[in-house]
Amino acid sequence: MKTALIPVTLVTGFLGSGKTTFLLKLAEHHPHEKIIFLVNEFARENVDGPALMTTGRPTHSVVGGSLFCECKAGDFVRLMRDDIASMPVSHVVIETSGIADPSAIGRLMHDHQLDQAFEIRRIVNIVAPKRFPQLHANLASVRAQVQACDTIIFNQTDLASPGQIERSHRLVAAANPNARLISGHHCEVEFDLNEVATAPALPAEPLAKCDSNPFTSATVQFDRAVSLTRLRAAIANLPTAILRLKGRVRTSAGWREVQCTVNTTTIVPCDRGEHSQLVVIAHDRNEPTLNRIVRQLSTLQR
């Protein structure tokens, strides 16, 4: 008798679009599902994993690059085949790195025989329409995320103008006319984890080269508490060249989780982190700006 395949939902979306929020909502709305989360972080530090662990669901991580690149695909395959496949699970939800191009997912599943244990049933793309038209025009990975999915969730719609939302709708409709479109705020949308969508055929392009990603990340470590007032001021003055800043920081007022994109900033109380640190991400062309911001953030503990 053939063993049933474990269903997998793949969640894509550019940096800060709301992927982790979507996973948190999935856990909340499916309390009885035995979900396992797998988080892929571009940076070497695992920031989103601890947030998902608060759901009580097993959470695994692949850090330091995209799981669709040659240098990290092996970590992903081993984790899926050697660990997750043998766990009691009803569904695997994979949060890809925000800069990941999922075009190799079909080849990755087939060549490493992951499709003998798992079945990718849904591919979801989270879109933040305020900057999506610009990202879509300039980044092949963003276009690939749209083309590969069966469902597109327009998130952070309250931050975008009607023109930006309309432009984003036109772009995704042209790139993937069969995708289901959903709009929401804070990823508060109706999504049935067990629904089997009519997804496009899995793309099966070669894995990306390890040096092909045009983004740079850096980590600022703090060995003592920083002023919360100074932290807020530094984040409020971040240039738009900084695409993403996130982490857990020990401050003068206790531990705070920091989530910052060019559109949104949240600094909220959180549990103690393993490290007090911030991860900063920018495009390669803005590496001098990234280095300057890292130096400025490093002075917060002086």
Domain-located, residue 53: yes
Domain that holds residue 107: 6-183
128, burial (CB in 10 Å: exposed 0-12, middle 13-18, buried 19+): buried
This prediction has a pTM of 0.92
Look at the block and give the residue holding tokens 């640190």: 277
Residue 1 confidence (pLDDT): 45
**CA–CA distance, 151 with 120 (Å, rounded to integer):** 13
Helices and strands (H, E) in the chain, number of each type: 9, 12
Strand-pair category, 6-13 with 180-183: unpaired
CA 295/CA 292 separation, integer angstroms: 5
Judge whether 297 lies within some domain.
yes
Same domain, 161 and 294: no
Residue 11 in any domain: the answer is yes
CATH of the domain at 53: 3.40.50.300
Residue 229 resides in a domain: yes
Do 178 and 223 sit in the same domain of this protein?
A: no
pLDDT tens for the 302 residues of the chain, in order: 457 899 999 999 999 999 999 999 999 999 999 999 999 999 888 888 888 988 999 999 999 999 999 999 999 999 999 999 999 999 999 999 999 999 999 999 999 999 999 999 999 999 999 999 999 999 999 999 999 999 999 999 999 999 999 999 999 999 999 999 999 888 888 898 888 766 567 889 999 887 778 899 999 999 999 999 999 999 999 999 999 999 999 999 999 999 998 888 999 999 888 899 999 999 999 999 999 999 999 999 87
In order, the DSSP letters of 212-228 are ---EEEEEEE-SS-B-H
Task: Give a yes or no: residue 1 inside a domain.
Answer: no
Domain boundary (183, 204, 234) is at 183
Structurally, the chain folds into a number of domains equal to: 2
| Rounded-to-integer distance, Cα 240 and Cα 123, Å | 29
If asked whether residues 93 and 234 sit together in one domain, one would say no
Based on the fold, state whether residues 35 and 156 are members of the same structural domain. Answer: yes
How far is residue 95's CA from residue 232's CA, in Å, rounded to a whole number? 28
CATH assignment of the domain containing 269 = 3.30.1220.10
